Structure 1
Amino acid sequence: MALTDLTLDECWAYRPELTVPVDLDGFWARTLTADQPGQATYEPVDTGLTQIRTFAVTIAGFAGEPVHGWLHLPAQADQPLPCVVEYLGYGRGRGRPHEKLFWAAAGFAHLIMDTRGQGWSAASGSTPDPHPYPAGTVPGFLTRGITDPDDFYYRRVITDAVRFAQAAREHPAVDGDRVAVTGISQGGGLALAVAALCPDVAAVMPDVPFLSDFRRGVQVAGRAPYTEIVEYLKLHRNRGSQVFHTLSYFDAAVLAPRATAPALFSIAMMDQICPPSTCFAAYHRYGGEKELRIYEFNDHEGGEADHQVEQLAWLRRTFAAESPR
C-alpha cells in the first residue's frame, strides 16, 4: 500500500478555501428549531453482564422521529458521570448491546446513536429513515436528496446526532458539563458537525473523519463512499454545481470553525476512503484548541486500539482540567 493522496508535509500546508453558504447559520437554526426535542426513553436491557448496566434508548430525532441507541453505565456508579456520545461509521447500526463497552468499562456513561436507515438487523432495533428521496440516486446514502439541502439525507442524520448530544446532557446519570462526542469515519464527521451546532458539547474526538472537504474527497478518494457522488455525477452531468452547493451545508470542514470545544483528531496517511487531505482540511479549520494523532502507515482503520488509549488519556486530562461552570 502506498500514499494515495498528499504527503504529510503537503497535508500540513493544505488549507483550502471552502465555499460557505451565506445562509449556513440560518439553515441550521431553522432545521434544529423546527421541532422541539421529545422525551427520551431508556428501557433496561438484560445483557447478562454484571459490571455494566445497559438501556435501550429512543430519542426524538429529525421531525420528532424515533431514533434508537444504547446507553451503557458502570454498574456501581453512584454520582453523575462524564459521558461519551458515539456516532457510527458508514453503513453501521447500533448492533448488539454488548458490542461496545470500552467507555463504560473506563468509568464513563456511553450513549451510542443508531444511524437512521443504516442499521443491519431489525432484531437489534434498527432505525428506519421513512423519508422518500428522488429517483436517480445511486446505491448508498450520499446522493439521497442531494439536489436540495432541505431534502438531503444528512440533514436528518446530523439533526439526530445533535438531539443525542442534547439528551445526554439531560440524563440524570450524566454530568451535563462533561459530554464528549466521538466517532470513526462517518461518526467522526458527525461529531464535528455536532460540536459546531451544539456549543454545550465539552470535547470532541473525530477519528479519520468522513464528510469533510467533499469536493476533494470526490476528486481523490479511491474507494466508496465518496465515489457514490462520482457515480451520480456521471449520470447527471449538469448537476455538479447544485450537488456541491447542497454538500456545503453538511461539510464538516465548513462547519468546523464554528466549533470551540477542545478536540483530538486522528488521521491516517494511507487512508483510501477518507483521504488525509480532507481530514486535514477539517483539522486546520477547527475553531477550538486541538491536538492531532497521525498514523503514517495506516489505511482507514487508523489507530484502532492504540488510538483508543490516546483518546482515553486525552479525555481524562481534558475533563480534569475543566473548571466547574
Structure 2
Amino acid sequence: MYNDLPEEELRVYQSAQTCPDDFDSFWEQTLEESRQAGGETTMELVPDDLETLDVYDVTFPGFGGDPIKAWLRTPKNPRGPLPTVVQYVGYGGGRGRPWENLFWASSGFAHFQMDTRGQGSGWSVGDTPDNVGASGPQVPGVMTKGITSKEAYYYRRLMTDGVRAVDAARTLPLVDPARVAVTGGSQGGAIALAVGALVRDLSAVAVTVPFLCDFPRATVVTDAYPFREIPDYLSTHRHQADIVHETLTYFDGVNFAARSRHPAHFSVALMDVITPPSTVFAAFNAYAGEKEITVWPYNGHEAGGPDDDLLIRQFLSQRF
C-alpha cells in the first residue's frame, strides 16, 4: 500500500536536513588521510570454469589503509581497457561468490564489486572485517555504530572505502580510468551518492532506492529496519537526539546529492517502507547535476529489479 506522500507532492518535496559548515573540509580531510595511509592494491585471477568471463580477487586500501576485498569481473580477452561499473552492496550483504552477479561483465563492462566491511552475513557473504571505530553502546546492525561522533561513525569508513574503490579500480590494467561509473541499490545507492559527490570526474551515477537519505524524515516516518535502528537507540539514549542528528548530517544522501554534478539515474518505488519514497525524492530533488528518475508505483524495496538493471545499462552505455 502507499504509505508516503502522493507522487505530485514527492516531486516537489524538499528535505529539512541541514548541512554543517565543515561538511566539505571534513570529507576532504578524511580522504586525504586515507590516501596518505597508503596500501597496496593486488589482483589475482580466480580459477573457475566460466567460459566467457574472468574473475579477479582484488584487495585494495580503504579507510585508513585498511585492506578491503572486491571482485573484478571482465569479459575474457578484452581488446583493451574497459568502461567500468563500480558497484556497492546493500545492507547486510557482502561481495558474494565469484560466480554471482555476472550481469555487468556479461554486458561488456569491467565490473568492480566492493565488499562491505563488517557486513556480509545477512543475505550475501563478505570477507572484510571492520576492526576500527568506536566500541560504545549500539543496537544490532551498524546504523548506530559510533553514531555520537562523525569521526567514529561507521559510515565514515564505508563511504571512504567507496571512494578508494574507485581510486583502486582506476589503477587496474583492464579498467579505462576515464570511463568509470558508480552504482548500487539501497545502502549501495547511498554509497554511490556519496562517491558521486566526493569524486569529481566520474562518467555517471546510478542509484536504486538509495538508503541513508533525509534522516530527519526517515527516522520518524517508517518503523522498518534498518532506519528503525536509530529510533531504537534514541528510545534509550533519550538525551542524545541532537548529537545523533548532528552526526548524521555528514552522511545524508541529500547533502551529497547537492554536491554531485555527474549525470545521474535514480529509481524509486512508491510502496517502499524501507527507504520511503519521500527520502529518495529528497535526494533526487536536491541533486545538482543532470538527472532522471524512474518511478515504480506498485513495488516495494525491490523496486524494478531486473528492469532497473536494464535501464541503468542503457543509461550508462550512453554516458560511456
TM-score with structure 2 setting the length: 0.96
- Please state if 1:52 is matched with 2:53: yes
Where in structure 2 are the equivalents of 1:273-312 lying within 5 Å?
273-312=274-313
Q: What is the percentage of aligned positions where both structures have the same residue?
A: 47
Question: In the aligned structure 2, how far is the partner of 1:285 from the partner of 1:97?
Answer: 36
Residue of structure 2 in register with 1:129 after alignment: 130
- Please state if 1:99 is matched with 2:103: no
Instruction: Return the letter of the residue paired with 2:21.
Output: V
Deviations along 1:184-238, one digit per CA (max 9) or x if unpaired, are 1000010000000011211000110001111111111231000000100001111
What is the CA-CA distance between 1:89 and the residue it aligns to?
Answer: 0.2
Question: In the aligned structure 1, how far is the partner of 2:42 from the partner of 2:216?
Answer: 39
Residue of structure 2 in register with 1:27 after alignment: 26
In structure 2, the gaps of 5 or more residues are: none
- Please state if 1:318 is matched with 2:319: yes
SS at 2:34 equivalent: coil
**Structure 1 residues 291 and 132, CA, compared in 2 at 3 Å: closer, same or farther?**
closer
SS at 2:306 equivalent: helix
SS at 1:16 equivalent: coil
Deviations along 1:260-299, one digit per CA (max 9) or x if unpaired, are 1100000000001000000001001111100111101100
What is the CA-CA distance between 1:125 and the residue it aligns to?
Answer: 5.6
Question: In the aligned structure 2, how far is the partner of 1:305 from the partner of 1:27?
Answer: 37
Instruction: Return the letter of the residue paired with 1:139.
Output: P
- Please state if 1:206 is matched with 2:207: yes
Instruction: Return the letter of the residue paired with 1:148.
Output: S
Instruction: Return the letter of the residue paired with 2:62.
Output: G
Instruction: Return the letter of the residue paired with 1:157.
Output: L
In structure 1, the gaps of 5 or more residues are: 320-325
Aligned residues: 317
Where in structure 2 are the equivalents of 1:1-325 lying within 5 Å?
2-36=1-35, 37-120=38-121, 126-319=127-320
What is the CA-CA distance between 1:124 and the residue it aligns to?
Answer: 5.8
Tell me whether 207-216 or 124-133 shows the greater mean CA deviation.
124-133
Question: In the aligned structure 2, how far is the partner of 1:31 from the partner of 1:13?
Answer: 33
What is the CA-CA distance between 1:307 and the residue it aligns to?
Answer: 1.1
**Structure 1 residues 229 and 16, CA, compared in 2 at 3 Å: closer, same or farther?**
same
2:17/2:215 contact within 8 Å kept: no
Question: In the aligned structure 2, how far is the partner of 1:125 from the partner of 1:257?
Answer: 31
Question: In the aligned structure 2, how far is the partner of 1:215 from the partner of 1:247?
Answer: 9
SS at 1:110 equivalent: strand
Question: In the aligned structure 1, how far is the partner of 2:81 from the partner of 2:291?
Answer: 26
Question: In the aligned structure 2, how far is the partner of 1:276 from the partner of 1:300?
Answer: 10
SS at 1:35 equivalent: helix
Instruction: Return the letter of the residue paired with 2:175.
Output: V
Question: In the aligned structure 2, how far is the partner of 1:40 from the partner of 1:290?
Answer: 33
SS at 1:170 equivalent: coil
1:165/1:201 contact within 8 Å kept: no
Question: In the aligned structure 2, how far is the partner of 1:135 from the partner of 1:52?
Answer: 44
SS at 1:140 equivalent: coil
